Chain A
């Protein structure tokens, strides 16, 4: 059978994907922007709406990074409000497992799941660093190697709390006066990170429990996802890299007794649609120029090189120095574990094409995944899914809130014609949309 495509809408945030300086770019903060993008996604019968999270503002060389969008409202609160103005769209919150307690996570996520009628998802992220930790009571107490140990234990406990009510615990018998079975929700757990007990005060929502998403890329991250996630939000959006990642992760499922269908792989991608392929290619090049200004090119190069490169001209050649591994020139964003081969590749490409530093950054990063006419994009999206480079995509528009209008109005109808994407929601919960069991 033809694989069905899964789609999510990402409200763009603090990466340089967002072209906030574009005249068509609206507020990154006002609820109206979130509402508009969510309504567009729901009109397009997307599976879910996705919000990222950062718990400390990014810094470059000890100063707050000011070139991209900075700051945003907190995910769970925004999504609870969106539950009021949408009816079917899944609502996915990125929430860190290091700087939160499982009981509080379980309660807040279950609340979102209830007020949305079973549409909540938790994207479990694991920043553990002392830099982020300076905003929290415990500081940066977690060793890098423990980030998934704590995440694993958090997820296990959160699930235990969600499962602490069984099928008929919620009685709701007004005549006899029995609201719930006595003892429902009781839990106790003790592990290396948590020793807790009590009662969980929310029964399961209509989808049983919120969907779990994972977004780490390391071996531990992939294993964590294979063991317990419903969706992976990956960064491998290109065809070849997507297939490799897909195969790698799906091959890990069997040892956890899981089927391939139980874990959906959804890379983050950007899309540029125009009337013709030629126009779209031109538009994409223009967007990339906007995304990578000279100063932004330097910051992105500093992230790779781990060095202060402010002495360099972004329109000049690449830095001659070697990269520094594990430097703290850039804080609050994921760095490179092994920058050497990437720097070598950048140098080779720059030399072969006569690119400046900025041109190299533009050409090596920030490449839109799907560019073309509606037909070109629809066919490419479908090919990625049918040939197992992905199960679907998380679309990251470069504009807020209108950035997905073209895709929804022009590409979605084609995917529906191909019979690979729904024309209307067949269920009401996010698990229904994703085809996951309860």
Chain B
């Protein structure tokens, strides 16, 4: 199973910063985050997420009312770690999609393929007012737009083929421009020409995570590589729903050779108003794994809405060699093991695993007090139970999550 950890200030407990073990200044320098990530990495934790929102934290007495930009903090942590995945929260409602994808691609470059992002939306008036570009947007609409942002990000990451930089001294060409692609993306609220300004990130697609906090987010989570699901009565049902969606798509596809377009693809609509569906197929290879299928470019709807590419598609649409079906699902829970001990948590983890989760996303009350307990007690227990692997495991974040390296949508398209 996968173990993730949330970094937010001094921890999820609003009073965590008051502990004698905490130097509150270290929240601002990033030192607290670096230490937590290093401890987690040494213990074999797979990834850390960095909490953020566009607007400042609430100005409440006794609480940490400051917050570093999660992306900058993740970048600061990157050279100080070697194996752990780094996923800053990035809100997309008011931020330019082109900047978002360039930053995440850059985080992937500087971390050697360990980057992802927790795509989030801003629905508050406070967030709208700090930028002042648009009115607050209803939650369902923000997520609909976020799905377009996720989609265009992946297209922009693909806008450079892996081997676009040729450095061919004989012809004087640094790049082969036939391997660079305009994305010409048009959505109801924005458009992007492309290509990206950043060469394709090492992982192809850095990991896109979505934290489920509303029904609309759950809907959008179908596009994610990684889903952070709150603990609830019906975790098992929610996971099934996320997976069923995937199975359904697998069943709709016709079995053809790996990587080929499938004629019998199901029509994916989803989401109101997103407009035309496009025909995609997801097929299974002989071993029952999902294999990549190129979106059917001959879809009749595309002709009627040139340039509009609905983001309704499952990850597997573009992912070759995916070894699991559906997004990786982690149950996200607030924990205080330095107070509560780890027995209860171990028991809970076993239950979640039985319910079908792929792992846990722990939000420690105090980074300084709880992360050592997670590292020194929880992970060894889970390792004994055969639930987590060796601490030395490295490689790309996608690799750790069992996600294949995505095929490039544009690969070979212009040649």
Contact = CB atoms under 8 A, between A and B. Distances in A.
Interface in B104-120: 105-107, 109-112
Contacts of A143: none
Nearest to B184: A134
Contacts of B112: 31
Nearest to A59: B177
A108 B22 CA distance: 25
Interface in A40-74: 54-57, 63-64, 66-74
B138 interface: no
Interface string B80-124: 100000000000001111110011011101111000000000000
Nearest to A196: B132
Interface string B132-151: 11000000000000000000
A136 B34 CA distance: 33
Given A64-B175, A185-B56, A197-B130, A179 B72 contact: no
B13 to A, nearest CB: 13
Nearest to A77: B106
A321 interface: no
Interface in A74-109: 74, 76-78, 80-85, 99-101, 103-104, 107-108
Contacts of B19: 174
A198 B126 contact: yes
B197 A77 contact: no
Interface stretch (B62-70, B254-262, B386-394, B405-413): B62-70
Interface stretch (A199-207, A337-345, A401-409): A199-207
Contacts of A100: 96, 99
Interface in B25-43: 25, 28-30, 34
B132 A194 contact: yes
A56 B59 contact: no
A141 B330 CA distance: 43
Contacts of B102: 74
B106 A71 contact: no
A81 B110 contact: yes
Given A64-B180, A203-B28, A184 B198 contact: no
B243 interface: no
Given A67-B173, A172-B25, A77 B72 contact: yes
B167 A111 contact: no
B185 to A, nearest CB: 10
Given A74-B106, A74-B198, A114-B30, A135 B78 contact: no
Interface in A214-231: none
Contact of A137 (B15, B96, B110, B176): B96
B27 to A, nearest CB: 9
B11 to A, nearest CB: 14
B131 A78 contact: no
Nearest to B98: A135
A81 B109 CA distance: 11
B24 interface: yes
B197 A56 contact: yes
A84 B76 contact: yes
B126 A77 contact: no
A64 B177 contact: yes
Contacts of A194: 132
Nearest to B53: A201
Interface in A281-334: 293, 295-296
A174 B16 CA distance: 10
Most buried by B among A34, A55, A70: A70
Contact of A177 (B62, B111, B191, B193): B62
Given A174-B18, A177-B15, A194-B132, A71 B68 contact: no
A73 B57 contact: no
Nearest to B61: A182
A57 B198 contact: no
Contact of A20 (B30, B76, B94, B167): B167
Interface residues of B, number: 78
A177 B18 contact: yes
A111 B109 contact: no
B79 A201 contact: no
Contacts of B24: 172, 174, 179
A419 interface: no
B104 to A, nearest CB: 9
Among A29, A55, A179, A293, find the residue whose CB has the most chain B CB atoms closer than 10 A. Answer: A179
A195 B189 contact: no
A293 B34 CA distance: 46
A112 B72 CA distance: 6
Contact of B68 (A82, A84, A202, A293): A202
B65 A108 contact: no
A81 B79 contact: yes
A31 B112 CA distance: 8
Contact of A31 (B55, B73, B79, B173): B79
Interface string B6-23: 000000000101111010
Contacts of A68: 174
A21 interface: yes
A35 interface: yes
B303 to A, nearest CB: 23
B109 A31 contact: yes
Given A182-B59, A203-B66, A31 B197 contact: no
A57 B57 CA distance: 37
B75 interface: yes
B57 A201 contact: yes
Contacts of B132: 101, 194-197
A180 interface: yes
B5 interface: no
Interface string B227-243: 00000000000000000
A150 to B, nearest CB: 13
Contacts of B111: 31
Given A29-B109, A103-B130, A199-B59, A115 B76 contact: yes
Given A74-B106, A81-B79, A199-B59, A179 B17 contact: yes
Given A81-B76, A194-B132, A198-B56, A178 B175 contact: no
A168 interface: no
Given A80-B75, A203-B28, A66 B67 contact: no
A99 B65 CA distance: 28
Given A29-B165, A139-B191, 14 more contacts: A67-B172, A67-B173, A71-B160, A76-B72, A76-B103, A82-B79, A104-B95, A104-B131, A111-B69, A135-B194, A170-B66, A174-B19, A179-B62, A202-B56
28 contacts: A29-B165, A31-B111, A55-B98, A63-B177, A67-B173, A72-B197, A77-B71, A77-B103, A80-B73, A82-B79, A84-B76, A84-B77, A108-B72, A111-B69, A111-B73, A115-B76, A135-B194, A137-B97, A174-B17, A178-B62, A179-B62, A179-B65, A196-B131, A198-B55, A198-B56, A199-B59, A201-B57, A203-B28
- Closest CB pairs A-B (n = 6): A201-B56, A80-B75, A111-B72, A134-B193, A111-B69, A196-B132
